[in-house]
Structure 1
Amino acid sequence: MLCQVFPEQYQSQLAEKTQRLQDLIPSLHHLTVFASEPRHYRARAEFRIWHEGDETDYIMFDQETKQKVNIKQCPMAIESIADLMPKLMAEITANEVLRLRLFQVDFLATLSGDMLVTLIYRCGIEGNQAWLDSANRLKTTLPITHIIGRARKQKILLEQDFIIEKLHVDGKIFTYQQIENSFTQPNAGVAQKMLHWARKVSKGAAGDLIELYCGNGNFSIALSEFYNRVLATEISKTSVKSALFNIAANQVENVTVVKMAAEEISQALQGQEFTRLKEVDLASYHFETIFVDPPRSGLDNLTRKMVAEFERIIYISCNPETLAIDLIEIEKTHDIVESALFDQFPYTHHIESGVFLKRKAV
């Protein structure tokens, strides 16, 4: 999309997505559509850098033509990033130490005001005091909370590699660590709406919750008040560490995170023993609800079968095609009660959706 936005087309593109989702999954009931802001919605942006003579510019490559396109403005990015971009480029262009062999600039921002900028180089910067002094001056000159300098096998932190987001949902504030180079929801405004919907369908829940693919604990933490206990699983070591940070930051006491793949937790529930669960009394949990937010490939056969064994299912999907395939099997035992479309990625074909199911009445 090369940073463009088309506010006058926003509603029509959202209507097209809604129709496409309903055509793909005709059984969706009570579909709620959560719109994005039509401009300034992305809290994460990455740009290649192009040098030509005395000029340096942000660029992106057109996916169809493969041609580079200079980016002077990015109304797709949240305002803090959009405002910072030209100011940062002016500083880089005027400082040969910062400019020399700069290859890429990444921005990671939060609604709560933090800004992390990563400068990626084709040459080494470790031990370069001139670069370090220049980068530190950027932080005093511009509204940047933290800077990371990267080069091959080098990573310099000024002063840390994460920022703190505060999401406002249902009159509550949830605090989340967002680590550079790790997954974060790019559209923070819509992320708040996703948490609102998941909390809504969790009201009145009984028993415990098990969550697969929990990431940094984004949903686990926001849903914890509706369940007696939450067991959250995640395979990424970095995400598990971040989830533990976020659980402590939000003072949540009923969430346990374990580093396990979805297939492994399925085997554990069937009685197979795992060392990583030695401190978890799995038999003491009374799971009635399962929450899944799988990758684009959807659920594997084993996990899909496991999911169908729970009374209630909350399924967040980033790929409606694989969601439709998974629901063919899940709807044999469960009915769709509520569904949602979250427009995380305006002006693209991507659809993020949510489905809440309950076991069929006998």
Structure 2
Amino acid sequence: MIHPHTDPAVYAAQLADKKTRLSELLAPFEAPEPQVFDSPGEHYRLRAEFRLWREGEARHYAMFEQGDNRKPILLTDFPIASRRINELMPQLQAAWTDPALGFKLFQVEFLSTLSGDALITLCYHRPLDAAWHAAAETLAAALGVSIVGRSRGKRTVIGRDFVNEELIVAGRTFRYRQPEGAFTQPNGVVCQKMLGWAYDVLGERDDDLLELYCGNGNFTLPLSTRVRKVLATEVSKTSVNAALSNLADNAIDNVTLVRLSAEELTQALNGVRPFRRLAGIDLASYDFGTVFVDPPRAGMDPDTCELTRRFERILYISCNPETLAANIAQLHDTHRITRCALFDQFPWTHHMESGVLLERR
């Protein structure tokens, strides 16, 4: 739901409600009181996606209430989005009056970063021709952005198909390549707080880390500096390529990255079947002390959850507190929660990110 206000008192009350909800979900497991990491009330969202809605000869940015795609909410700005996105919105709207750019344009996506980089994706119901390419190059130069054009399975890139982000953890700046169309954390300020919390909770260790669902290496980069070495897995080829670039760009050389799903790695570690992508990796050489997981909303499947039970410490970041609680219920007989946190990635909504450290009893 889109909120027309950002009243600090209302925000504080909503955040308190989220803390209560998380505490109640984790109460059966005797969790400590969660640390709470708040969000700015405005200009926190680094991604935004809009449909275009025609009224007469004019077209507007539009969003819809969930479940209702007939009544558009027309926008001239979007206060929860980054200042860079709000700066670009009217400039792009002026540009799409050019038929070379505006003809059969139906959707616009913005991707920005805390470091000021930005990329715009333009989606069309038509092939992109030479006139589009020339107009898009002129626009990209004028706005100081990269542009990606999409049309029926084809993609045309003006500039780069990724943005560059910089996040500071424990005084060190980490550089991230964030590809267009791939998952990235939407709230950069809170993401930085999440990374700092995970870095602190993991602590300085002399053993190894197993990371499941590593994405573009968001957590991998800072956590790799706290352990001897890391074995990280991710199934998305786009995210794997971004993670490999990020590791190289940050001169991190103690991470081995394997393109496997968490379920496939579980099968490999259980000896169910071998995987060619693990050839040359000596799993026996790892002394895993901690497993780090950041699963999708569905949480860990039962077999992967059972795999994590083998580890002394389970560091778990969750975007769905209900599936987090369900996974902890499976692990509660062998592990207890020693640290807990709430990260308000999505202010003005009921959604929340949370984190727990589970340690063997």
User: Which whole-Å CA distance do the structure 2 matches of 1:179 and 1:152 have between them?
Assistant: 20
Runs of at least 5 residues in structure 2 that lack an aligned partner in the other structure: none
Residues 1:253 and 1:320: Cα distance change in structure 2 (over 3 Å): same
The whole-number CA distance in structure 2 between the counterparts of 1:317 and 1:134 is 42
* SS of equivalent to 1:226: coil
Look up the match of 2:164. Answer: 164
Instruction: Please state how far the C-alpha of 1:140 moved relative to its aligned partner.
Output: 2.5
The SS at the match of 1:38 is: coil
Contact 1:105–1:118 (Cα < 8 Å) also in 2: yes
SS state at 1:104 partner: strand
**Rounded Cα–Cα distance in structure 2 between residues aligned with 1:50 and 1:64:** 17
TM-score, length-normalised on structure 1?
0.95
Residue-by-residue CA offset, 1:149-180 (whole Å, 9 max, x unaligned):
11112211002211111111221111111111
Which residue matches 2:79?
Answer: 75
CA contact (8 A) 1:304 1:330 kept: yes
Task: Kindly indicate whether residue 331 of structure 2 is the aligned counterpart of residue 335 of structure 1.
Answer: no
Alpha-carbon distance, 1:345 to partner: 0.5
User: Which stretches of structure 1, 4 residues or more, deviate above 3 A after TM superposition?
Assistant: 2-5
| C-alpha displacement of 1:28 | 2.1
Whichever residue aligns with residue 212 of structure 1, its letter is: L
**Partner Cα distance (2:3, 2:50) in 1:** 10
Return 144-153 or 248-257, whichever deviates more: 144-153
Counterparts in 2 of 1:51-130, with a 5 A limit? 51-63=54-66, 65-66=68-69, 67-93=71-97, 95-125=98-128, 128-130=129-131
8 Å contact kept, 2:53–2:72: no
* Aligned mates of 2:124, 2:174 — CA distance in 1: 35
In 2, Cα distance between equivalents of 1:241 and 1:64: 35
Describe the superposition over 1:330-351 as per-residue Cα deviations: whole angstroms up to 9, x where unpaired.
Answer: 1211121111000001111111
Task: Describe how 1:281-296 pairs up with structure 2 within 5 A.
Answer: 281-296=282-297
- The structural deviation recorded for 1:53 is 3.0
Q: Distance in 2 between matches of 1:5 and 1:218?
A: 31
For structure 1, which segment, 259-268 or 77-86, has the greater mean C-alpha deviation from structure 2 after superposition? 259-268
Shift, 1:242, TM fit: 1.0
Verify the 8 A CA contact 1:268 1:274 in the aligned structure 2.
yes
Q: Provide the secondary structure at the position in 2 that maps to 1:57.
A: strand
Q: For 1:244-293, what per-residue CA distance to the aligned partner results, in whole angstroms no more than 9, with x for missing partners?
A: 11110111010010011112212222334321111211111000100011
Inter-partner Cα distance in structure 1 for 2:2 and 2:105 = 20
Say whether the 8 Å CA contact 1:3–1:75 is kept in structure 2: no
Higher mean alpha-carbon deviation, 56-65 vs 294-303, is at: 56-65
Q: Distance in 2 between matches of 1:337 and 1:205?
A: 17
- Does residue 237 of structure 1 match 2:237? yes
Partners of 1:288 and 1:281 lie apart in 2 by 17
Q: What is the Cα-based RMSD across aligned positions, in Å?
A: 1.3
What is the match of residue 355 of structure 2?
Answer: 354
For residue 41 of structure 2, give the secondary structure of its aligned residue in structure 1. Answer: coil
Tell me which residue corresponds to 2:150.
Answer: 150
Q: Which secondary structure does the structure 1 equivalent of 2:303 belong to? A: helix
Per-residue CA distance 1:90-138 (angstroms, 9 max, x = gap): 1222x1221111101100001111110011111111xx22211211111
Q: CA deviation at 1:295?
A: 1.1
Please report how far the alpha carbon of residue 301 of structure 1 lies from its aligned counterpart in structure 2 after TM superposition.
Answer: 1.2
**Do the aligned residues in 2 keep the contact of 1:4 with 1:76 (CA within 8 Å)?**
no
Higher mean C-alpha displacement, 294-303 vs 261-270:
261-270
Q: Give secondary structure in 2 for the equivalent of 1:241.
A: helix
TM-score (ref. length: structure 2): 0.95
For 1:270 and 1:124, the matched residues in 2 are separated by 49
Q: Distance in 2 between matches of 1:51 and 1:30?
A: 50
Distance 2:7 2:110 in 1: 23
Amino acid at match of 2:356: V
Matched AA of 2:267 = Q
Percent sequence identity over aligned pairs: 49
Deviation at 1:225, TM superposition (A): 1.1
Aligned to 1:226: 226
Q: Report the Cα distance in structure 1 between the residues aligned to 2:318 and 2:249, rounded to whole angstroms.
A: 27
The CA distance in 1 between the partners of 2:76 and 2:185, in whole Å, is: 25
Mapped to 2, the partners of 1:42 and 1:192 lie a distance apart of 13
